[in-house]
Structure 1
Amino acid sequence: MEFIALDDQPFSVVEDVGFRSLMEFLEPRYTLPSRRHFAEVCLPEIYNIVATHIHELLARDIPTISFTTDIWSSDVSPVSMLSLTAQWIDKDFNLMKAVLHSQEFTGTHSASAISDAFEKMFQTWKIDKTKVHAVVRDNARNMTKAMMDSGLASFGCMAHTLQLAVHDGVFSQRSISDAVAIGQKIVGHFKHSPLAYSRLQAVQIQLGMKAKRLQQDVSTRWNSTFYMLESLLEQKHALATCAADYDLPATLISSSEASAADVIPSVRALRRLLSKEADTDHGVKTTKTALLEAVNKRFDQIESDPIFCIATSLDPRYKDWYFDEDVKQRLRAILDAHLTPAAGAEDETHGRESADHPRSKRPRPDGARPSLHDMFEEILEENGPERPSTTASQQLDVFLAETPIPRGETALGYWRNNHLRFPELAQMARKYLCAPCTSTESERLFSSASHVLDEKRNRLSCNKAEMLIFVKKNMHLTKK
C-alpha cells in the first residue's frame, strides 16, 4: 500500500502481469490481494495510522500554526479540490509541515462556501482558531473574503503578487508581450510535432550541441516564461539552422523554506536593484521603470502589516535593518507591546559573545552589473553595526544591536542555539517565523493531485484520492 501511495501507482498495478511476475520471483509463497482489498481495506488502514500521528503532532505544545490553501481543478475529471497544509515550529526550532486536506470542493466557489469548508476542516483536526497565526492564500476576492468571514488572519501569496507585478510592469510592454507570444509559438511547434523535434535534435548534434528540449512556459509563472526565453536564446543557432531548411511558425530575434520574514527585505532589495542604472540597461530602461512602478504598487502596504514586520525583525538575518527610521520606531513599539515584563530583566551583557562583528564589504568589479544579492549587502552596510539603545527591554536591545547573521545561515538554526539567551524573543520567533510567504506547499500538493487523478485513474473517487495524497505527503512524519 505504501508503494501504491508513495509512487502514485493505480490500484490496478497489483493485477499487472509484470508486477505479479516480480512478486512471484521475490516470494513465490505470497498471494497478492485484489485491487479491491487495497482500495477498500489497506488504504483506509494506512490513512488512519498517518492521521493519528498527525493528530498527536498537532496536540503537542505548539504556540501557533500557519496554513496555506488553494483551489485546484482537474484536467482529466470534473473535480475541484480545496487544500489545507499546516506549518509550525516545534520546541527544538525545527520547521514542521503536514498536509491536512485536499478534499473535494463541489458547488460554487463562493466566500461563504470556502469559509464553511474551513470551519469543518479545523473541527476535523481540533484546531483552535486562537492558535492560527496566518493563512497564505491567493489574491482572489472570494478567498480573501472567506478568510475575513472566518476571522482568520491571512495574506496573499508573495509569488502570486510578484507575478501580478511582473505582468503589470513587464508583460504590459508591447515589445515584450510580442516576443513572448512568438516564443510560445516556436516552443509549441516543437512540442506538438515529434518530426519537428527530431529535426531540431539532429541539428543540435550536428552543431556539437547537447540535445535539449525547449522549455514550455506557464502563463501564471513569470519565471517559467523567463526560462522559456532563455532556452530559446541558448538554442538560437540550432533554431536558425532549422528555420533555413524548414518552416517555423515564427522567428525570434534577438530562481520551500522562505518565510514571511523574507518578504520585506526581498521587496526592498528588488526596488533598489530596479532603481539602479547599469551599462546593460540599454533597451530595457522603460521596462525597468514600469516594473519598479508595478512592484511599488503591488507591495505598497507591505511595511504596514505586522505579520511581515515582526517576522522580519525576529529573523536574525534581517532584524530591523531593512526599515526606515519611522518604521523602526513604530515596529519597536509593537515589539515592546508583545514582550512580557520579564524580558526587561535579562542581563544586557548576557550572550554578547558574537555581537558587533563588522560586516566586510564585498567588492564588485568596475562595470559589473549589480545583482539582487548586492542589494541585500548594501542595505546592511548602510545601517552599520553601531546601534543606539532605547528604553525598550534589554533583551530586545541586545538582539537588535548584534550584527545580522549571514543570509546563507538559517533563522531557525540561530534560534535553536540562542533561545536560552533570548527566551521571550524565541517564543515570538516560533510564532512569526512559522508563516510561509507563498502558497507553494498547496501548489505542490496539487501537482501530486494531478499525478493521482491521471488518465489511468480518472474515475478514482475524491475520498480515495485525498487519502492517497495524505499518505504520500505525510508518511515521512511517521518514520524515524
Structure 2
Amino acid sequence: MSAVWSYFTVKDEKNKAECNQCKVSVLRGGCGRNLNTTNLIKHLQKHHVKQYEEFKQTTSAKKKSVPQQQQQTLREAIEKREKLAPESNKAKLITEKVTEFIVLDDQPLSVVENVGFRRLMECLEPRYIMPSRYYISDTAVPSKYKQVCEFISKCLENAATISFTTDIGSSDVCPMSLLSLTAQWIDSNFELKKAVLHAKHFRGSHTGESIAAAMEMMLNTWKIDKSKVHVVLRDNATNVIKAMNCLGVPSLGCFAHTLQLIVNEGLLSQRSVSDTVAIGRKIVGHFKHSPLAYSHLEDIQLELNMQPKRLQQDVRTRWNSTYYMVESLIAQKRALCAYTAEYDLPYTLIATQWGLLEKIITVLAPFEELTKEVSSSSAFASDVIPSVSVLKRILTQQNEADEGIKTMKSTLLEAVNRRFRDVESTPLYSVATLLDPRYKDRYFTNAESSRHAKDALLVQARKMEEVLGRTVSDASQAAEGTSSELAAPEPAKISRVEATSKSRLGNMFKEILEESTVESVPQSTTTNACIEIQTYLIKPTIQRSDNALLYWKVNKLRFPCLAATATKFLSAPSTSVESERLFSSASIIIDERRNSLSAEKAEMLIFLKKNLPTMFK
C-alpha cells in the first residue's frame, strides 16, 4: 500500500479521497478498478509541503528495504536452458553422487537407465545429462575406487600394527568363490579403525599353499610388511591354519566358530535333547511349508490375545539360530497346543519335551549372550579368556533344573575345557587380557597362567620401552610426580553400545571379579616397564560396559609403554565376523539382477560399499 494513504481517507464516493489536513475532497485519478494516487500526491506537493517531504522519505526507505529484482539477461536465460557440459563442476558432482547412490544403496548399474530414476533427475536438475551405465561401470566406479584406495592406503601407512580377519565364501547366484581380507587397527587417538581390503575372486583348489599365496599378494598390494601383522583371525579349517603357517604370520581361530562347535557337541550328546530339537524343527518346517496351517495358527493366536508371530526356522551352521527356534516354540506353546486340538499336526511335543526345551534355553542362554557380545564391532581378543572362565564357572554349577540335561551340560563343560585348554597360555590372548582395563589379571583360572601372562607382558612392554627410548631416571620421576594422581579417582569413561548385563552371564563376571585377588609383579629391575605394570595392575578394573580404549587415551602419559603395547594387542578382534559380514554384503551386491558382474567389478562395489562411509566421517 502506498504511503500517501497516511494523509487521505476514502469516503462514500470511491473515486474521491478526503485530505486529513484540509478536509478537501480530491478526485482520484483513473476510473473503475484502475484508480491511482497521482492526484493525491500532487495535492500534498502543492498544499502541504511538510507532509509531502515526510511522504517522500517514507517511500524512499521502503524502496531501499525491498531488494531490486534485476531483469534476467538474454545470455542468462539461454544458459539456464542449455544442458550442463559433462566436464563442468556441477555435472561432475552430480555424477559422483549418483555413483555413491548406486554403491551405498546396492543399486544395479542399470539404474541410470530406469525411467523413474531419470524422471527424478530431470525434475531435480533438467540441465543434467544422465551418463550411460557403461560410463558408470567403466569410468565412475573405478575413479571412486581409486580415490577410496588412496584414502585407505594413507590410513594404513600411519598404523603401527594391524590385525586382520579372513574367510572364504561363495555366491549363491554365480560360480564365484571370494577370499576376504579385512583390517583393524588403533590409531594415534586410540580410536578403533576398520577397513575392507579385499573380497577377491579365488580360483582353483582351496589348498593351504594357494590361500597363503593369495594372502601374500593381497598384503603386497597394500604394501603391508609382515612385521606389521599382529594377528589374523580365521576359521578352524585345517587348510586355512596351514595357510597362515605357510605365510609366516600369527593367527587365531574365530571364537564364535569354536562356540558353534561346542554347542553342537552338547546338543548331539544327549539323545533326548537331539530328538526333542529335531521334533521342534519339523514342527516349524510344517508351518513354513503350509500357508494354510500358518493362517490357522494366526487365528488361534488372535483368539488367545497373543501377538501373531511366525516360528523361526534354524540354520544348522548357526547354533544360535537353533536357540532362537526353540525360544519361538516356547513362546507359542499355548497356541501350538490349541492348534493340535483343532487341526492335524504331524509332529507334537509331549509335556516332558516341552520342559526339556525350557531347560535347553536356560543352559544355552549364556552361550547366546556371549556370542552376541563377541560378535559386536567393539569386541577384542581380550574378551576371550574372561568369557571362557565365566562359561566354565556357569557349567560347573549344579542345580535342580539340570535334571534331564546333565549329559548335555557335562559335555558342554568338557568341550569348553578341551577346545580352550591352551587359551590362557597363548600370549596373543593373555597379554591382551592383561592390557584390557576391564579385566586385567582378575579372570585367569590359576596363578601360574597369570604369572606367565605377566612375564609375556613384561617382555612386550620392554620392547616398547626401547622403542620409546625412555630412561630409568625418567621412570622414577614419573612415578614420584604422579603419586598423588594415582590416588585420585579414575577419569571419566564413555559407555560402550552394549549395556551392562544384568543376566546370569553378567552376574558371573561380577562374581569372579569380586573373588579375585591382586598379585604383585616381581620386580627384578626398576625399569619403566616394571613400574608401569605394577602400578597399572594394582588399580581397580573399570566397568565391563566401559570403553577400554578411552582408558588408554586418558592414561597414555601415565603408562606410555603399556599404552603403546595396548594399541598393538587390543587391535585384534575375537572373531572373524567382519569377514562373514562382508559375504552378507556380497550376496546382496551379486544377486539375480547383477549375476553377470565380473569378479573385478564385484570386488570394487564391495570395497566401496564398506569403505566409502569412512571417508564421510
Question: Which TM-score applies when normalising by structure 2?
Answer: 0.73
Say whether residues 1:24 and 2:146 are aligned partners. Answer: no
Q: 1:379-398: per-residue Cα shift (whole Å, max 9, x none)?
A: 211124x5535316111100
Q: Once the 2 structures are TM-superposed, how far is the Cα of residue 200 of structure 1 from its aligned partner? A: 2.5
Which of the residues 398, 402, 412 maps onto 2:539?
A: 402
- Distance (whole Å) between structure 2 residues aligned to residue 165 and residue 106 of structure 1: 32
Q: Which residue of 2 aligns with 1:334?
A: 456
Say whether residues 1:5 and 2:98 are aligned partners. Answer: no
Could you say what the CA RMSD is over the residues aligned between the two structures, in angstroms? Answer: 2.0
- Distance (whole Å) between structure 2 residues aligned to residue 191 and residue 171 of structure 1: 24
Q: Quick one: which amino acid aligns to residue 505 of structure 2?
A: L
**1:215-230 to 2 correspondences below 5 Å:** 215-230=312-327
**1:412-423 to 2 correspondences below 5 Å:** 412-423=549-560
The answer to whether the 8 Å contact 1:134/1:154 transfers is yes
**1:104-123 to 2 correspondences below 5 Å:** 104-123=201-220
Q: Secondary structure of 2:486's partner?
A: coil
- Distance (whole Å) between structure 1 residues aligned to residue 452 and residue 176 of structure 2: 47
Which of the residues 421, 431, 440 maps onto 2:577?
A: 440
Say whether residues 1:374 and 2:495 are aligned partners. Answer: no
Q: Which residue of 2 aligns with 1:365?
A: none
- Distance (whole Å) between structure 2 residues aligned to residue 394 and residue 289 of structure 1: 43
Q: 1:404-434: per-residue Cα shift (whole Å, max 9, x none)?
A: 1110101111111111110000010000000
Identify if the C-alpha distance between structure 1 residues 237 and 146 changes in structure 2 by more than 3 Å, giving closer, same or farther.
same
Q: Once the 2 structures are TM-superposed, how far is the Cα of residue 403 of structure 1 from its aligned partner? A: 0.8
Q: Once the 2 structures are TM-superposed, how far is the Cα of residue 183 of structure 1 from its aligned partner? A: 2.2
**1:224-239 to 2 correspondences below 5 Å:** 224-239=321-336
Q: Once the 2 structures are TM-superposed, how far is the Cα of residue 377 of structure 1 from its aligned partner? A: 1.3
Q: 1:100-159: per-residue Cα shift (whole Å, max 9, x none)?
A: 000101111010110010111001100010000000000000000000000010010000
Q: Quick one: which amino acid aligns to residue 523 of structure 2?
A: T
Larger RCO: 1 or 2 (CA < 8 Å, sep 6+): 1
The answer to whether the 8 Å contact 1:312/1:319 transfers is yes
Q: 1:314-359: per-residue Cα shift (whole Å, max 9, x none)?
A: 00011111122111222222222222364862544524134799xx
Which of the residues 442, 452, 469 maps onto 1:321?
A: 442
Say whether residues 1:267 and 2:388 are aligned partners. Answer: yes
Q: Which residue of 1 aligns with 2:548?
A: 411
Identify if the C-alpha distance between structure 1 residues 34 and 186 changes in structure 2 by more than 3 Å, giving closer, same or farther.
farther
Say whether residues 1:90 and 2:90 are aligned partners. Answer: no
Q: Secondary structure of 2:142's partner?
A: helix
Which of the residues 113, 133, 140 maps onto 2:237?
A: 140
Say whether residues 1:391 and 2:523 are aligned partners. Answer: yes
Q: Which residue of 2 aligns with 1:364?
A: none
Q: Quick one: which amino acid aligns to residue 325 of structure 1?
A: A
- Distance (whole Å) between structure 2 residues aligned to residue 447 and residue 49 of structure 1: 24
Q: Which residue of 1 aligns with 2:259?
A: 162
Rg: which structure is higher?
2
- Distance (whole Å) between structure 2 residues aligned to residue 191 and residue 381 of structure 1: 48
Q: Secondary structure of 1:69's partner?
A: strand
The answer to whether the 8 Å contact 2:454/2:521 transfers is no
Q: Which residue of 2 aligns with 1:40?
A: 138
Q: 1:181-229: per-residue Cα shift (whole Å, max 9, x none)?
A: 2222222233333333333333322322212222222212211110111
Question: Which TM-score applies when normalising by structure 1?
Answer: 0.93
- Distance (whole Å) between structure 1 residues aligned to residue 486 and residue 519 of structure 2: 14
The answer to whether the 8 Å contact 1:356/1:402 transfers is no
User: Identity over the aligned pairs, expressed in percent?
Assistant: 54
Q: Secondary structure of 2:180's partner?
A: strand
The answer to whether the 8 Å contact 2:190/2:550 transfers is yes
Q: Once the 2 structures are TM-superposed, how far is the Cα of residue 14 of structure 1 from its aligned partner? A: 2.2
The answer to whether the 8 Å contact 1:157/1:439 transfers is yes
Q: Secondary structure of 1:434's partner?
A: coil
Q: Secondary structure of 1:127's partner?
A: coil
The answer to whether the 8 Å contact 1:343/1:394 transfers is no
Q: Which residue of 1 aligns with 2:403?
A: 282
- Distance (whole Å) between structure 1 residues aligned to residue 488 and residue 408 of structure 2: 43
Q: Secondary structure of 1:70's partner?
A: strand
Say whether residues 1:101 and 2:101 are aligned partners. Answer: no
The answer to whether the 8 Å contact 1:356/1:401 transfers is no
The answer to whether the 8 Å contact 1:135/1:155 transfers is yes
Q: Quick one: which amino acid aligns to residue 466 of structure 1?
A: E
Q: Secondary structure of 1:437's partner?
A: coil
Identify if the C-alpha distance between structure 1 residues 299 and 99 changes in structure 2 by more than 3 Å, giving closer, same or farther.
same
Identify if the C-alpha distance between structure 1 residues 448 and 182 changes in structure 2 by more than 3 Å, giving closer, same or farther.
same
- When structure 1 is superposed on structure 2, of 239-248 and 297-306 the one drifting more is 239-248
- Distance (whole Å) between structure 1 residues aligned to residue 171 and residue 257 of structure 2: 20
Q: Which residue of 2 aligns with 1:424?
A: 561
Pairs aligned (count): 467
Say whether residues 1:201 and 2:294 are aligned partners. Answer: no
Identify if the C-alpha distance between structure 1 residues 332 and 54 changes in structure 2 by more than 3 Å, giving closer, same or farther.
same
